[in-house]
Structure 1
Amino acid sequence: MNQNKLCETIDVDDGKVTLADYMGNDLSVVNAARVSFGKRKTELDEKDIKLIKYLAAHKHMSPFRHVVFSFTLEGVSEVVCRQLYKHQVGCSYTSGEFKEAATTWNEVSGRYVEFEPEFHIPELFRKQHTNNKQASNEGDAVEKNTEAQKIYMSAIENGYSAYKQLLELGVCKEQARMVMPISFKNSLVWTASLEAAVHFIKLRDHEGAQLEIRNLARAIKKLIDPICPHSIAALLDSTK
């Protein structure tokens, strides 16, 4: 993996995601596919772009797994992290076939460190979507937004206070953390193949997904798009 000038940071809600490291690009996909014929390219041309589209359209995914991205997420709520974790299974297995090294992550552990009082605080509390049972209306706040925020803050303060009291009683960190609100902020490293990253973007940058995870998916796409524009476009198009 080689660090590159393209690596940058994007703010997501009240956290941030950084493309810390990556390996490969569109040409890596092409060369992985052409190795069967003992061929290797040094520059991408129109034939290679057509090959990328063909691979994506016909679900020949192994060449896309030779490109890997490593992200650091800081100050991201555990609500978002939990949805990201699902892709360890969702991206590693498809139709019963194991896909090697699809995604992996390491996070700050509440078993080792004491959590700081840092939580995700929404600026507005959204209304439930009228047609989608799991979604909300982006930008559409409830009428009593201030009252909702007071209730939210009270729950956070009570949860963190209970956590601190348990620690003061000598309760181990791994048990005391169980009372922490799910809105607490966490930090982690997430590494994914190109295929897995695009699979995540496809599923999470969707109107049925939670807005906070949608914002993360959009940021990740913005970070990796300059590296593999043709592969990302082909993979997203093949899933329509």
Structure 2
Amino acid sequence: MKNQFIGTSLDVDDGKVTLTDYMGSDLSVVNAARVSFGKTKTEMDDKDVKLIKYLAAHKHMSPFRHVVFTFALEGVSEVVCRQLYKHQVGCAYTSGEFKEAATTWNEISGRYVEFDPEFHFPSEFRKQHKSNKQASLEGECVENNVMARAIYKEAIDQGFSAYKKLLELGVCKEQARMVMPVSFKNSLVWTASLEAVAHFIKLRDHEGAQLEIRNLARAIKKLIDPICPHSLDALVNSEK
């Protein structure tokens, strides 16, 4: 019987993210933690919720790595994907001589396929934040949004036109793709442990993060919250 949560999708700007598979739940976390005592439970109770909070607060993270999620991202701009890629570093763990990555991804490759003319177009162009040099003002649009959109579209059209012309000249795809604007829509599969996903949400659903990546973090949080609400809350809200 198909799990009710698998296949659930949420819109992310003009793309979407889908929970395609997962393993585990809050109960998996507490059972992993209690295996040292040779104990296993089949139902959660208040003691288990307290245990989860204790594990998160004291950075006992290995039990949270027994819950794993796989997401499919479609039509998400490369700008957003590049920020997601950074969590290979932010979510990797070292054990002795070996590095155990808690997250991985696979994406469509411009070396193998020719890109389609699909790009992310913001519904509004936000103003720069007055005090935070890296942030924008959510909900505050520049005065001439129409002009900004026209300039944006012109740059995209020129970049994609150059890409097509290079291909027509016989230039290989792996070089022609270098002129593609970073607003092109990408598709990828991302698999990560609960610990890694919570780390991503904690860092990216933050007022200092770019709004587009915040929207992705918010959507992913909604997708997994019904599966592991206690663990997610404990990990996201624990002190850094």
Question: Displacement of 1:234 after TM fit?
Answer: 0.8
SS in 1 for 2:112: coil
Q: Identify the residue that residue 21 of structure 1 maps to in structure 2.
A: 21
Equivalent in the alignment of 1:202? 202
2:135 aligned with 1:135, yes or no?
yes
User: Is structure 2 residue 142 aligned with structure 1 residue 146?
Assistant: no
**CA–CA separation in structure 2 for the residues paired with 1:108 and 1:188:** 6
Q: Please, what TM-score do these two structures have when normalized by structure 2?
A: 0.96
| Paired amino acid for 1:36 | S
Aligned to 2:5: 6
The answer as to whether partners of 1:72 and 1:187 remain within 8 angstroms in 2 is yes
Q: Could you tell me which amino acid in structure 2 is paired with residue 5 of structure 1?
A: Q
Structure 2: which amino acid aligns with 1:170?
A: G
Equivalent residues in 2 for 1:28-177, closer than 5 Å: 28-93=28-93, 100-177=100-177
Aligned-residue Cα RMSD (Å) equals 1.7
Alpha-carbon distance, 1:3 to partner? 5.5
DSSP 3-state at the match of 1:112:
coil
Deviations for 1:214-235, whole angstroms, at most 9, x for unmatched residues?
0000000000000000001111
- Residue deviations 1:161-198, cap 9 Å, x none? 00000000000000000000000001000001000000
Matched, 1:187 2:187: yes
Q: 1:231 to 1:97 in 2, by over 3 A?
A: farther
Moved more, 228-237 or 10-19: 228-237
Q: Which letter maps to 1:75?
A: G
Does the CA-based 8 Å contact 1:57-1:234 persist in structure 2? yes
> Partner letter of residue 14 of structure 1?
D
The CA deviation string for residues 8-48 of structure 1, in whole angstroms up to 9 with x for no partner, is: 00000000000000000000000100011111111111111
In the alignment, is the contact (CA less than 8 A) between 1:3 and 1:22 conserved in 2? no
Aligned length: 239
Supply the distance in 1 between the matched residues of 2:193 and 2:86 (Cα, whole angstroms). 15
TM-score by length of 1: 0.96
Could you tell me the percent identity over the aligned residues? 81
Runs of 4+ in 1 over 3 A off after TM superposition: 96-99
2:34·2:40 contact (CA, 8 Å) conserved in 1?
A: yes
How many angstroms apart in 2 are the aligned matches of 1:209 and 1:98?
Answer: 31
Secondary structure, counterpart of 1:33 in structure 2: helix
**1:28-80 deviation line (CA, Å, top 9, x unaligned):** 00010001111111111111111111100100000000000000000000000
> Where do 5+ consecutive residues of structure 1 fail to align?
none
Q: What secondary structure does 1:115 align onto?
A: coil
How far apart, CA to CA, are the structure 1 residues paired with 2:126 and 2:93? Answer: 34
